[in-house]
Structure formats: C-alpha cells, structure tokens
Amino acid sequence: MKNKNRKMLKVIVSCALCVAAIFSVNSQEAVRPATPPARPAFRMPNIVVSPEVLPDNKVTFRLFSPKATEVSINGDWMTGVGASEPLVRNDTGLWTITVGPLTPEFYGYVFTVNGVRVLDPGNPQIKRDGTRNESILLVPGKESELYAVNNVPHGTLAKIWYNSPVLKLNRRMYVYTPAGYEDGKDEYPVFYLLHGGGGDEDAWTTLGRTCQIMDNLIAQGKAKPMIVVMTNGNPLQAAAPGEAPARPATAAGESMFAMGQGLFEESLVRDVIPYIKSHYRVLANRDNRALAGLSMGGMQTLNLTGKYPALFGYIGVMSMGLVDRSAMGLQPDPEQDAKLEALKNSGYKLYWIGCGVDDFLYNSVINLRNTLDKTSFKYTYRESTGGHTWANWRIYLSEFAPLLFK
Amino acid sequence: MKNKNRKMLKVIVSCALCVAAIFSVNSQEAVRPATPPARPAFRMPNIVVSPEVLPDNKVTFRLFSPKATEVSINGDWMTGVGASEPLVRNDTGLWTITVGPLTPEFYGYVFTVNGVRVLDPGNPQIKRDGTRNESILLVPGKESELYAVNNVPHGTLAKIWYNSPVLKLNRRMYVYTPAGYEDGKDEYPVFYLLHGGGGDEDAWTTLGRTCQIMDNLIAQGKAKPMIVVMTNGNPLQAAAPGEAPARPATAAGESMFAMGQGLFEESLVRDVIPYIKSHYRVLANRDNRALAGLSMGGMQTLNLTGKYPALFGYIGVMSMGLVDRSAMGLQPDPEQDAKLEALKNSGYKLYWIGCGVDDFLYNSVINLRNTLDKTSFKYTYRESTGGHTWANWRIYLSEFAPLLFK
C-alpha cells in the first residue's frame, strides 16, 4: 500500500513537472490568464477569477487593469438601453463589482474599458449574436435549469452542408438528433426552427441553448424525442460569417428583394425538407412536422404556413405578427384571409403564438390575434413579460417543444 | 419590363423599411458595431472596418476609442513573446495601424487597450485557444488557401456524445465525415487526431482548421476521403469548458495521475474506436486507421503505438519526442526498446515526425529520432521553421493527411 502510494506520488510529481514544463512554453497556455473553473489543475498564481457566482446568486466580476480610468459592465440582467454599472478600482488596479442576487438565467455581458467594448478576459465562454460577441454567465437555479448542461443523455449536433437549387447555394444548417438516434432504428418527428434577422444557423444553438433545452426536456420526459433542424434564414447567405466562401458584397436591395420574394421559404420546402427526409430517419408527414420561428423567422413561418397550409401540423410564431403593410406603403395581401382560412381548415394540431408585452412588435401580434379571432381560428397565446429577447425565445422554446407531436 | 422593375423597386423599398424597422430595435442588431463583410445590407453609418486586408496583403486594424490613452496590437505574425505594436490615434479617437504585407496565413490577434486584452469589436470572428479567445484574420493567398472555406464540397462536422466506461464519463468528441459520406454506402478509413495540453475537442477544428483543410485536400484529390475523429484528450474532462456538466474542481494531482496512467489512451482504444466502428461506415482494419497528435497528443500517440503496435497503420507525432525522463526524476521506461522493436516489426505503413526548429521540445524529437535510428526504424521526418505553434500544426496536418491510406 505504501509502495503504491509512493509510486502514485512519483507519477504525479513527474507528470506535474512534465506538464508544467510543457505549459510554461506551450503557445496554447503561455501568458494566458487561465479561468479557474475550466482547468484548476493548471491555475496560475494571481489570476483573476471572473465571473464568480456566490452562494446567494450574487455575482462578482473582476478585471485587472491598473491603467484604465473607467470600467463598467453591461449585462442582460439590466434594464434600459445602454444601462451599465461602474466597477470600482482598488489600489492594485483590480476593478470589481458585485451585482444581484440575479435570477437564474443564461446571461450575456461585456465590460466597457475607457470607452472600448471588452469581453471578460477571465472568462473563455462567449456567445455570438450576429456580429457581436458577449461573455457568458449561467446563474444556476430553477429558472435556468433547462439551459444548463446536466447529467442527462445528450443529442448530437451536426453541422451539415446541403445543396439549395432554389437559392443556388451550397448552404450550411445544424441538425440536432436526440440521444438514442444513433443507436436505434426508430423514425423521428422533425421540428424546423428559424432564427431572426441578424442571426444565422448558429443562433438557436448558442443563444437559444437548443441542445441543452431539448436534451433536458427529452430526458425529463417532457418533450418527445425529435430531430431539430436549424437553418440559415438569410436567402443570400450560405453560412455564418467566416464559415462560407467569400462572395462579392451584396447590394442592400438584392438582399431585401430575395427576402421579400420568400426565397428562403421556398428553399425550406423544396431543398431542406427533402434533404432531411432522404438523409435522416424521419416520420415524413404533417403530424410529425413542426415549424417555429422568431421575429424574421416568425414572418417566414407566417409566409410558409400561409402558402403551404398542409405542410406543418405544429406551428409556432414568436415575437412576430401581422405587420401593418400600409405603414410600409404596401397594399394589404389580398390573399391573406384566404390563406388563413385554408390553414384554419387544414387540420393543423397546434398554432402557438408567443410574445412579450414589451416587444416592439407587440402590436403586430395583437393584429394577428384579432385577425385570427375574426374567423375563430384556434390558437394558443402565450404572453410573457419582457421584449424582443433571447431570454423570451428560450422560454418559448422550452414551452413550445413539449407540446409537439402528442 | 418597366412595370416589373417598378414592382421590384417597391418590394425592395418596402422590405428595406420593414427590416430597418425591425433592426432599429431588435436586440440582435441594435447598438451593434456591424462588420461590413458579413452583412453589408445592414451596415450602419460610421462603423469601424477592422481588419481590412488591402490588395498588397497589408492589413489595417482600427479601433474607435476616444478615451483610451494606449492601444497596441499583438498578432501571430509578430515574433517574440509579448511583442506588440502601437496603434496611432487621430483627432476623432480612431486608433489605426497598418501592418505587413503579411504572409497569407490564418492569424490570431488581440488589442491591448490601456493594459486590458481586447478582442477586435469590429470583427465577429474569434477562436478559442484553451481559456483564451482571439480575433481571427485570414490573409488569403497560396500559403493559406487550404485554410479558407472554398467553393468545394464540404464535409459534416458532428459533435457527438459517447459513453466512456474507462473514464467513467459521458464525453464529447467531434467527427468529421467527408462530403459524400451522407449520400453513399462506402466504408471509409478513419484518422484519429489528438490535440495538445490546454486544448480540448474543439481545438483541431477551430485552431487547426481541420474541416477546411480536409475539405480542400479531398476536393483537390490530394487526400483520400476519410473520417476524422477529434477527441478530448484530457482524461478527467467530459467536454470543452461550459459544454459539460459542472463537476467538483479536480485536484492537480488527480488530473496528473490520470494523465500519467495513460487513461485517455486506454479510453481511445476501448471506448472511442469501438464506438466509431459501430456508428459509422468504417474500414475497420489497421491499414485504414491513422493516429496523430501534437504535443501532449504526440505523447499519447507514442504511448498508444507503443502499447498497441498493431492498431494503427499510419502514425504522426507532431512537436513531441522522447522526453528525458531522468530530468523528471523518472527511471527510463524499461520496455521502451521492446515496444519500439515490436512496432518496427509490426508492418506499419508510415511513421511520420514533424517538428519546428524553434520548438522547445526539439531536443526530445532529436532523442526520438536517435532512438529510432539505432534500430533502423523507418520514419519520415519533417522539420519546419518556427516552434510549438498552430501555424506549424496546420502545415503538418496539410502534409500528413495526403500520405494516409495510400
């Protein structure tokens, strides 16, 4: 026993020496301010721990900067555009703030240092919202438990490329297959999930925490195992920035025209759905096909279900309704009522609308509901607090997914 | 025709209005300094373009910060630890520097603003190296053409979870399947590709540009279509930071011990290879199985091929050799010569060693080569300029992959 311990100790010490040697020069590690929770074994002395979630869900942020004269933080928990709070400097140059207690949630935040937007150097975890990156903070607890990576079976996320003859592009999309898919022979229902303007195929998995939400809902028996397909809804874009071949800059008008023509919607029907059907084990019928989208994706959902009333059994419209076309100098869609009538009589299973009371598109949702009410079109309405935010869209996904395919 | 144009113009204007309305408040877009190459349609006035690659491969970086008093840049093209160059402020508070011309390459860079490490706010594209994020710059040209996303068929990258009884973890790995895999019935050779210390399963695809390199090599007919499996080589880590359930902090000794015991290596043999065999269409024999790793992954490659000489037909050891065990207070491995002898006689197809002349492990590679030379062990040696860097590992992958399975 003693010998074994001594041998183990020797191995430990030797390995530690070896690794320390490697890490002292390794370009992956040198000069880097390590983040303790990720790899405590290689923690450097005097590193800055940030963010630190305290037991009462207060959170301390720290930034070391003797030369800065103004440091503030902006986080998703604050209200008001451009809201921020100052950090306070101690005499070593360490800037600190403790906020909260914060409601358990998946937050983004950034520092501003002398007027410059700065990601937390102590925190390797970030998310991209369009062209903007933010540091990530997950405050654990009941409200955020579906967003956490828990000890449950995890699905696979595949980043695949498919040809779109409609858009004349080789394009990227993400496909989530639930745990068990790889090991079985079952066929699965499919949920098409569309992002909003400014986003891309990456949005729902990073900002929307789709993999975590679906893993957790399925493990808890609250949602049926399903395939979730997350496309890129920008008709002229092959993939997220940097992930597609460079192409000539697109004129604003070209992009708008493609959007106005419903080209992405056509592509979903003619390129994406057939691809999924031929490459995955799917239950390829309406009652096993769902569609939801937020904002621009909500408009695409309205367009798609209007044009193809027999395609989707489950429909989710998030933070989008019927916008006032006359305010944009457009005639009302003369076919709108006919389309909604066709959809109403098509035998859909669920038409779900979600919106926050502070959403700038709230009135369009009232407009949609009034229009549906006129013809006794059945739908489920979920009104939340808050506005046009990922906090709401994660909640909507968490509530919509359990209603599917049942 | 005129009518058509007018109609198109109307659609464009209307859509532009609509999208502008959405974007003016949309939380995804508001207040964001947009990056023009990504979505020129939504370009805001007066935004900062950074980085800008000029026709002669000089590169201009810009940062807007009227309040900063010191702004510098550190980039992979600079030599020397901690090298940096100052940006110059104009009277509006815009800081600028033009560097180069730069050799075409996939670079990382960061700004330092009043002593704080800052990712380029004008550039949404970043990469994570362990716990450190950097902004990305791809200077196009011959030397970097394999790293670019080109107009070629793209493989699928799947982030999958598998059970590891050896490590008692549900773990994540990345599997690249080449273009055509999803549409065919063929069986493919498999290349297991290991990262270095401080890295994780994300490293080879983000820092190593594995998907781009493999897509391009395969499209050019230079590499055979193959499956590439990228594991997490840290035996106590289920997945990259933030991607796995939180677990208690690991004592340094525990982590080292697991590493010293070769637990990851055992897991590759007993958990990973069987999983790949049972879940993918693979040519499950030695001549269709390759293994390579860099630094820590190179050591794991040495360990694996020493213990299992009949497992891999193609072996790549990057930036790692035989370290001087006596300097670490360890006895020489009494079985080392026997292991190498067994490997030598095992009928492997390729034993490939790559190292840079400035690598801090260069002497260990000399040691490895001398040891192999003593017994006329056949190997291919590639000596590059530079040191222990991803610039070299991308080159090694670009050169090693074409040699496989031929």
Please provide the DSSP assignment of B85-114 as one string.
EE-EE-TTSEEEEEE-PPPS-EEEEEEEET
Classified as helix, coil or strand, A16 is helix
In this prediction, residues B225-234 reach a mean pLDDT of 97
Residues 387-406 in B contacting A (C-alpha not used; CB under 8 Å): 387-390
Length of chain B (residues): 406
Tokens of B296: 């820590």
Mean pLDDT of chain B: 87
Q: For chain A, where do the domains classified as CATH 3.40.50.1820 start and end?
A: 147-403
Cα→Cα distances A6→A1, A130, B325, Å: 9, 54, 17
Tokens of A200: 């891309």
CB of B63 within 8 Å of any CB in chain A? Answer: yes
Burial of B248 (0-12, 13-18, 19+ CB in 10 A): exposed
In this prediction, residues B172-181 reach a mean pLDDT of 97
Q: Out of A30, A115, A261, whose CB is closest to B66?
A: A115
Shortest Cα distance, chain B CAs vs residue A314, angstroms: 26
Binned at pLDDT 50, 70 and 90, residue A197 comes out as very high
**pLDDT of A332:** 77
Cα→Cα distances B158→A44, B139, B172, B173, Å: 33, 27, 10, 8
Highest averaged pLDDT of the listed ranges A13-22, B23-32, B397-406 = B397-406
Binned at pLDDT 50, 70 and 90, residue B57 comes out as very high
A-chain CB neighbours of B161 within 8 Å are 153-156, 179
Would you tell me how many other CB atoms lie within 10 Å of the CB of residue B83? 12
**pLDDT of B331:** 74
Choosing among 2.60.40.10, 3.10.20.30, 3.30.565.10, 3.30.460.80, the CATH entry for B40-140 is 2.60.40.10
d(CA B379, CA B138): 33
Cross-chain residue pair A170–B158, CB shorter than 8 Å: no
In this prediction, residues A188-215 reach a mean pLDDT of 97
Residues 286-345 in B contacting A (C-alpha not used; CB under 8 Å): 295-296, 323, 325, 328-330
**pLDDT of A251:** 60
pLDDT at A2 over 50: no
Q: For chain B, where do the domains classified as CATH 2.60.40.10 start and end?
A: 40-140
**pLDDT of A250:** 62
Burial of B46 (0-12, 13-18, 19+ CB in 10 A): exposed
Cross-chain residue pair A119–B119, CB shorter than 8 Å: yes
In this prediction, residues A328-332 reach a mean pLDDT of 71
**Percentage of chain B with pLDDT > 70?**
85
Nearest to A37 by CA among A105, A126, A123: A123
pLDDT at A283 over 50: yes
Cross-chain residue pair B198–A39, CB shorter than 8 Å: yes
**pLDDT of B81:** 72
In this prediction, residues A60-69 reach a mean pLDDT of 92
Cα→Cα distances A191→A211, A213, A343, A405, B219, Å: 13, 14, 19, 10, 33
pLDDT at A364 over 50: yes
B-chain CB neighbours of A81 within 8 Å are 30-31
A-chain CB neighbours of B94 within 8 Å are none
> A-B interface: how many C-beta pairs under 8 angstroms?
341
**pLDDT of A33:** 35
Burial of A182 (0-12, 13-18, 19+ CB in 10 A): middle
What does DSSP assign to residue B282? B
Q: For chain B, where do the domains classified as CATH 3.40.50.1820 start and end?
A: 146-403
Choosing among 1.20.58.1030, 3.30.1360.70, 3.40.50.1820, 3.30.300.30, the CATH entry for A147-403 is 3.40.50.1820
Shortest Cα distance, chain B CAs vs residue A281, angstroms: 13
Binned at pLDDT 50, 70 and 90, residue A223 comes out as very high
- Name every residue whose Cβ is closer than 8 Å to that of residue A84 and which is 6 or more positions away in sequence: A72, A73, A74, A78, A112
Shortest Cα distance, chain A CAs vs residue B350, angstroms: 27
Tokens of B282: 């693979």
Cross-chain residue pair A25–B388, CB shorter than 8 Å: yes
Residues 156-175 in B contacting A (C-alpha not used; CB under 8 Å): 156-161, 170, 172
In this prediction, residues A132-140 reach a mean pLDDT of 94
Interface test mutation site (partner B, options A127, A154, A250, A322, max chain B beta carbons within 10 A):
A154
A-chain CB neighbours of B302 within 8 Å are none
Cross-chain residue pair A33–B361, CB shorter than 8 Å: no
Strands A380-384 and A350-356: parallel
- Name every residue whose Cβ is closer than 8 Å to that of residue A155 and which is 6 or more positions away in sequence: A176, A177, A178, A179, A181, A211, A214, A215, A218, B161
Q: Out of B22, B182, B250, whose CB is closest to A197?
A: B22
Cα Rg for chain A, rounded, in angstroms?
24
Cross-chain residue pair A199–B241, CB shorter than 8 Å: no
Tokens of A147: 């967003």
**pLDDT of B10:** 46
Q: What is the chain B residue with the closest CA to A163?
A: B153
Q: Which residue has the higher pLDDT, B236 or B21?
A: B236
Shortest Cα distance, chain A CAs vs residue B124, angstroms: 5
**pLDDT of A331:** 74
pLDDT digits (tens, 9 = 90+) for A246-279: 776 666 667 666 777 789 999 999 999 999 999 9
Mean pLDDT of chain A: 87
pLDDT at B43 over 60: no
d(CA B187, CA B226): 9
CB of B70 within 8 Å of any CB in chain A? Answer: yes
Q: Does domain B146-403 have CATH number 3.40.50.1820?
A: yes
